Chain A
Amino acid sequence: MKKVFVFVVVGVVLFSGALLFAADKAVPEDYDEDTYGPKDPIVWEKPVKAVVFDHKVHTMEGGLECDSCHDELFQMEAGAAQENDDFTMATLYDGGYCGACHDGSTAFASNTRCTACHIGVRGSDRLQGDAAAGKKAH
């Protein structure tokens, strides 16, 4: 009887652990990089630090196709746009880059909700894993 009880307790602990672990995973199993684009978010460092773009939010969840943005607004190479001199908020307000959709009608306007994309130095440290953050702390 005692053995059965121990067995049940251990089982419950393991099962809840597995559930928690599953919930922790941000990207689901069925994420296909060929359909939805790179899994890891892009973090821009120029002209200001720590601005995020997540393919998953725009393709898998938002329903956009690759050619909605490529190659007219952005070239395929991840993070290449930040080398351009016109990669600024002013260009976005004029409908360039992200501003093509983030104009207030298709998606929230570029001059609102700043922190939705500007995740900040803290946010980007967190996103890029504890490895980077740990290195900084020591």
Chain B
Amino acid sequence: MKIDDLEQMESEDLSTLSSAERRRFLKIGLAVTGMYLGGSILSLISVKNAHAAGVVPEAGTYPYNPHYSMVLREHLCIDCERCKEACVKTNHVPSYGFRTTILEKRRSLGEDKSETIFVPVLCNHCNRPPCVRVCPTTATWKDEKTGIVVMDPSRCIGCKTCMAACPYNARYFKEETRAVDKCDFCLQSRLSKGETNPACVEACPADVRVFGNLADPKSRVFQLVHAPDTMVWVLRPETGAVPNVFYINS
């Protein structure tokens, strides 16, 4: 474009801006500000029917039946690792991975004394499982009947996104199958064959692990987590995954 042509063109500087144009622009600005301000004021008004929810869902609101879950009576765990051995044997877990393991922590008892606490961990079979949400090939999902988070190794492409998403470090990559492997409450190896308990539960000599249907008020897991004067907690509740593995100390 030649400089002469440019000179012929209409100016775009402020002198050509009409009042109506300015007004319209200001209006948009005010509308946006108003939206945010209104939202902030609204958020200050208390919600009357809100109540603090515990980690244990209200009775009768379990999404599955059977709604399989596990209660771990933490202070009884002695890290004898029979559960791990049983799991390895039942589910062919290689030495570099685990479906369940025992963590160890120390708690001060004052002065120089401390006690050891062993924490058994496994897949929490969350109601809102982050691993399922991130899987690009739907190789992992929540079983419609039991709520167990299951895997189909043949659909897994080994991208390991689920491993990164899991708040509980409950998944590992199994070289042998070239797929991610995880605890399925022994659904494939035992429950589907008529057994009532996963291998780890059966192996535990100290009755730490209790497995059952949380939707059944007569089940032991239901009674343990709904017992009066009992503190029930879950690991990493802040992730919002709504886990189904509960911890108690009684």
A contacts, CB < 8 Å to B: 47-51, 113-116, 118-123
Contact A50:B80 (CB < 8 A) given known A114-B206, A119-B116, A120-B116: yes
**What residue in chain A is nearest B118 (Cβ atoms)?**
A120
What are the residues of chain A within 8 A of B104 when measuring CB–CB? 120, 122-123
Q: Does A122 lie within 8 Å of B102, measured CB to CB?
A: yes
Task: From B71-79, B148-156, B217-225, give the one contacting chain A.
Answer: B71-79
Q: Does B102 lie within 8 Å of A118, measured CB to CB?
A: no
Q: Give B77-119 interface residues, CB cut-off 8 Å to A.
A: 77-82, 102, 104, 115-118
Q: Does B115 lie within 8 Å of A113, measured CB to CB?
A: yes
A109 to B116, CA, bound (A): 17
Q: Does A115 lie within 8 Å of B81, measured CB to CB?
A: no
Q: Does B102 lie within 8 Å of A114, measured CB to CB?
A: no
Q: Does A120 lie within 8 Å of B206, measured CB to CB?
A: no
What are the residues of chain B within 8 A of A47 when measuring CB–CB? 205
A19 to B206, CA, bound (A): 42
What are the residues of chain A within 8 A of B116 when measuring CB–CB? 115, 119-120, 123
A49 to B82, CA, bound (A): 9
Contact A123:B115 (CB < 8 A) given known A48-B205, A114-B206: no
What are the residues of chain B within 8 A of A123 when measuring CB–CB? 79, 104, 116
A48 to B118, CA, bound (A): 15
**What residue in chain A is nearest B115 (Cβ atoms)?**
A115
What are the residues of chain B within 8 A of A51 when measuring CB–CB? 78
Contact sample, A vs B, 29 pairs, CB 8 Å cutoff: A47-B205, A48-B80, A48-B82, A49-B81, A49-B82, A50-B78, A50-B79, A50-B80, A51-B78, A113-B115, A114-B77, A114-B78, A114-B206, A115-B78, A115-B79, A115-B116, A115-B117, A116-B115, A118-B79, A119-B79, A119-B116, A120-B80, A120-B102, A121-B102, A122-B79, A122-B102, A122-B104, A123-B79, A123-B104
Interface band, chain B: 10 to 19
Which of B80, B205, B206 has the most CB atoms of chain A within a 10 A radius of its CB?
Answer: B80
**What residue in chain A is nearest B206 (Cβ atoms)?**
A114
Which of A50, A114, A119 has the most CB atoms of chain B within a 10 A radius of its CB?
Answer: A114
The 10 closest A-B pairs by CB, nearest first: A120-B79, A118-B78, A48-B80, A115-B116, A121-B81, A49-B80, A114-B78, A122-B104, A121-B79, A48-B205
CB distance from B89 to the nearest CB of A (A): 16
A78 to B60, CA, bound (A): 55
A94 to B130, CA, bound (A): 49
CB distance from B90 to the nearest CB of A (A): 19
**What residue in chain B is nearest A88 (Cβ atoms)?**
B205
Q: Does A48 lie within 8 Å of B78, measured CB to CB?
A: yes
A114 to B204, CA, bound (A): 14
CB distance from A53 to the nearest CB of B (A): 14
A11 to B117, CA, bound (A): 42
What are the residues of chain A within 8 A of B77 when measuring CB–CB? 114
CB distance from A124 to the nearest CB of B (A): 9
Q: Does A120 lie within 8 Å of B78, measured CB to CB?
A: yes
A121 to B80, CA, bound (A): 6
CB distance from A85 to the nearest CB of B (A): 15
Residue of A49, A114, A121 touching B76 (CB-CB under 8 A): A114
A109 to B79, CA, bound (A): 20
Question: Quick one: CB contact mask for B185-206 with A, threshold 8 Å, 1 for yes?
Answer: 0000000000000000000011
